[in-house]
Chains A and B, each alone.
Chain A
Amino acid sequence: MQGTDHTMESQTLEIADLTCRFGAHRALDAVSLSVGAGEFVSILGPSGCGKSTLLRSIAGLEAVEGGTIRIGGQSVDGLRPRDRGVAFVFQSYALYPHMSCAENIAAPLRMSELGPLGRLPLLWRLSGRMRRTRESIADRVGATARQLQIEPLLGRRPAALSGGQRQRVALGRALIREPALFLLDEPLANLDAALRNRTRTDLRALQRRIGATTLFVTHDQTEAMAISDRIAVMFDGRIHQVGTPDEIYRDPETLAIARFFSQPHLNVVPAATLRRHIGGATAAGDIRIGGAALEGMAGVVAFRPEDASIRTARRPGLPGLPCTVDHAEHAGHDANLFVRLADGETAVVRIRSHEIADWPQGAEGVLHFDLDAARRFDAPQGEAETPSRAREVA
């Protein structure tokens, strides 16, 4: 992408105690978040957790029950959506169906810079000022289209575009306003996998160049990790953790976050079960997980398949869990080996795919895992007594 870039004055965003209710259901529950000028922050969470509602509240499209929103230090509470200086890219793109792409992209400028008279057909020709404004709008539409490489599409209607092209037009309509704040609601969700990867890289490069503060909603944790400065993880209308992709990946604060960042599998074993299998100590001393001694530990221990390994015999001096192989799932370079622990619980181990043949069903082995990478969590409600399982997180 080349051409005249839009340079925007990026602004900070501060949200404090934002609450939004639909009937009895709290879609947002005291959400607080600070975003620095020019920062790219992803809102990550499962479907229905309130991501769109958060973005819509910031844009002023949803009436909030309480809390404050400041953009560039100024409270925008009570301001109309158009006056908040934010641009929104909707998941469905929300292009105006009966307007051409050029008219779609020009719409925000036409509304803000042309008076009602200037928008009438023909009449604008009478006034030199209106003519110049129109020309300036057309120039900026052209520049934006060049930047997004959609110039050949400008004359078409949205119905005649592919999903990726529509997405770019929607982006153009947002860009052309030179907003203080970009709100992107799953803008990549409707693209196929290859296009999604390429577009997310483009999107981030574009955002770096124009330096606009950006909130990016997604329910795909790899996408969030790939392009964010920071990620805010949301569940049930609350933000559970905010941090860099690395912080959240390594140190998830709750089991739910750990599961979300370990898709498709996370091994979760109650601390008591673990103790029964491997004891509280080895010759080298106390076993410690996440800084606490396993001896007397409550809750559950979680570790990722890639932090686990399986061997035919116990490595001397290290704690291991005896297990029986159930089946393997090929995943290209690697494979996921499903094993059954001594008392019937399932765990998943990441092996190289060429090793699948070494582990036929029923083979006996010992499961080791990296104690430093394992984390302890409070047992989730109602799950403390049930056997641990490798969970598929939807």
Chain B
Amino acid sequence: MARALGWTLLCLAAAVTLLPFVYMLAVSFAAQGTIYSGALLPAPSLAAARENYAFALTEVPLARFMLNGALVCGVLLVLQVTIAAPAGYALAKLPFRGRPVLFGAVIVALMIPMQVPAIPLYVAIAWMGLLDTYTALIAPFVISALAIFLFRQFFVNYPSEVIDAARLDGFSELGIVWRLMVPAAWPAVAAFATISIINHWNDLYWPLVVVTRTEMMTPPMGLAAFRSSGESAGNVGALMAGGVMITAPLVLAFLFFQRALVRGFGMGARA
């Protein structure tokens, strides 16, 4: 009985969560005239779908936005992991003076929202003449407190004797990080990759701060620009088609990493 109730509640919650996506998908397939017809979901039509998607792809450089997004997310992720894995290793396994303070600082950094350092960062980037560049989009996020924290938590349980054995076998400290620790921590890597990609793909705030030129726009920013651009105003079908196209990569990435993601966050709370 309680079980059935639980299932019902979960299904309801899932439906509420999914409904906007379903609606977005349906509208992107529908002709302009049928959208406000009063039906719960407008009827799809192939011709309308083709028109909507073609409009979204041609009216604004949506492909360029997605390329920008992929580039920013990809480079950023590589840099974040490159920096966070050795840092997490040091915090987990290398005894040094001031380590607890440094780890405390990482935890504090986790709690500071992006908006706090935004203005000084903007001023610095503007002063260096880097506005409207990939550097401006990437550099502020390269050191990720979340990644350092996540890796540290994973590495701390790695057996120290194996690390000692590696030192005797001739591994360098970085060799230990990349050849032993990171392969053992791939659920953490996958979990972090998913969070990082979702965050930065969807981020509208920071691109709005440092980007003004169309060809540097990331997907959500491009979509916002598309909505307010003169020709497409009111073309809800095309807007939704754009939305579908910039959401799809994330959904695919999530499905791909799903199991690792659950394991990565389930650590320490294993059933």
A binding-site residues for B, Cβ under 8 Å: 56, 59, 61, 80-82, 86-88, 90-92, 94-98, 107-108, 111-112, 173, 177
CA A82 – CA B176 in complex, angstroms? 13
CA A112 – CA B183 in complex, angstroms? 21
User: Interface residue count for B (Cβ, 8 Å)?
Assistant: 15
Q: List 16 other contacts, CB 8 Å, given A61-B168, A88-B168.
A: A59-B164, A59-B168, A81-B168, A82-B170, A86-B168, A87-B168, A88-B165, A90-B161, A90-B165, A92-B161, A94-B159, A94-B165, A95-B162, A98-B183, A107-B166, A108-B170
Given known contacts A90-B161, A94-B162, A98-B183, A112 and B170 CB-to-CB distance under 8 angstroms: yes
Q: Is the CB of A92 within 8 A of B159?
A: yes
Interchain residue pairs A-B with the least CB separation, the first 7? A111-B170, A94-B161, A94-B165, A108-B169, A82-B170, A90-B161, A94-B162
CA A98 – CA B166 in complex, angstroms? 13
Q: Which residues, 148 to 186 on B, are CB-close (under 8 Å) to A?
A: 159, 161-162, 164-171, 175, 180, 183-184
Q: Is the CB of A90 within 8 A of B170?
A: no
Q: Is the CB of B169 within 8 A of A56?
A: no
Q: Is the CB of B180 within 8 A of A96?
A: yes
List 8 contacting pairs A-B, 8 Å CB cutoff, sorted by A. A61-B164, A61-B167, A80-B167, A94-B161, A94-B165, A95-B165, A96-B162, A96-B180
Chain B residue nearest to A116 in the complex (CB): B175
**Which chain A residues lie closer than 8 Å to B167 at the CB level?**
61, 80-82
**Which chain A residues lie closer than 8 Å to B165 at the CB level?**
88, 90, 94-96, 173
Residue from A59, A92, A98, A111 whose CB has the most chain B CB atoms within 10 Å:
A111
Chain A residue nearest to B167 in the complex (CB): A81
Q: Is the CB of A173 within 8 A of B169?
A: yes
Chain B residue nearest to A61 in the complex (CB): B164
Q: Is the CB of A107 within 8 A of B169?
A: yes
**Which chain A residues lie closer than 8 Å to B168 at the CB level?**
59, 61, 81-82, 86-88, 108
CA A267 – CA B159 in complex, angstroms? 43
CA A91 – CA B183 in complex, angstroms? 24
**Interface digits, B211-248 against A, CB 8 Å rule (1 contact, 0 not)?**
00000000000000000000000000000000000000
CA A80 – CA B166 in complex, angstroms? 12
The contact of B164 among A94, A111, A112, by CB within 8 Å, is A94
Min C-beta distance of B173 to chain A, whole Å: 11
**Which chain B residues lie closer than 8 Å to A111 at the CB level?**
169-171, 175
CA A175 – CA B73 in complex, angstroms? 46
CA A88 – CA B183 in complex, angstroms? 24
CA A61 – CA B161 in complex, angstroms? 10
Chain A residue nearest to B175 in the complex (CB): A111
Min C-beta distance of A159 to chain B, whole Å: 12
Min C-beta distance of A79 to chain B, whole Å: 12
